[in-house]
Structure 1
Amino acid sequence: MNETFIPASDYTKKKWYVIDCKDKQLGRISSSIVRLLSGKIKSYYHPAFDTGDYVILINAEALTVDRHIERVHVFNPGRPGSSLKRIVNGLPQQIIEKCIYGMMPNGLAKKQLSKRLKVYQGSEHPHTAQNPIHVEDIENFTNNV
């Protein structure tokens, strides 16, 4: 009789991946990152268990965005006048995090998966102790694993 394989929590150690965002499109890289974070690229993926990995994004400011992402931020609420300010393509770290957060499946694991995403604006990151794997081509990487 065949039984479904259910991975235990200590079945595998979580891997760390470094992805360079330089000259890559926001939507294409985001969908691949969500697959890495949720663990859907693994052969033992199960939606009820946590099989995802950690993802480090570097050079977030060099990511190409097709359209202007315009945000309205409230500064000094309660004071009349110029409390609303428009920011166009500002804060690339928040733009990437919000895009990836919106692509994640709804549920209890959404916050847990989003905590595994680390976004940095420069090419340096403080996670060298985890021995991250540098990924060159993210779109083909997720299809071949």
Structure 2
Amino acid sequence: MESKTKYTIILTIFLISLIFSGILTFVSLEEACGGIQTTCYAVQTSQYESTFGIKNSNIGLVAFSIMAILVFLHIKQPTKYKKQMIIAGIIGGTIFALYFLYIQFFVIDALCKYCMVIDIGMLLNLGIIIFWKDK
């Protein structure tokens, strides 16, 4: 039961991140960010908006969809392999989150509210897998 709760929280965080990635992908940036004079808009239109030519919000849509499905399947039928894949995905996502936080705080000097929720969510998921031990 405790493990199910743990993975349900992780799933919820991934679903929130998926929704926010969807907002950045499907809603106009001006509307999503609240105008072109906002720091959110500055982040989303900076040279760091894409990785390897792919918009970060699109990468987020794919990554968070895959992770949400994987966690859901693990909740329904836990396996060691799925658990290892979830841990690997969270570690990889956290590396990207730390990079994006660095870029926002120290390079662009502007914050995107959606990005912050997504990045903090990844850090929370990392904390959950590190500190919430399964019995």
Whose strand fraction is larger, Structure 1's or Structure 2's? Answer: 1
Whose helix fraction is larger, Structure 1's or Structure 2's? Answer: 2
Structure number, greater radius of gyration: 1
Does TM, scored on the shorter chain, surpass 0.5? no
- Normalised to the residue count of structure 1, the TM-score between the two structures is 0.24
- Normalised to the residue count of structure 2, the TM-score between the two structures is 0.25
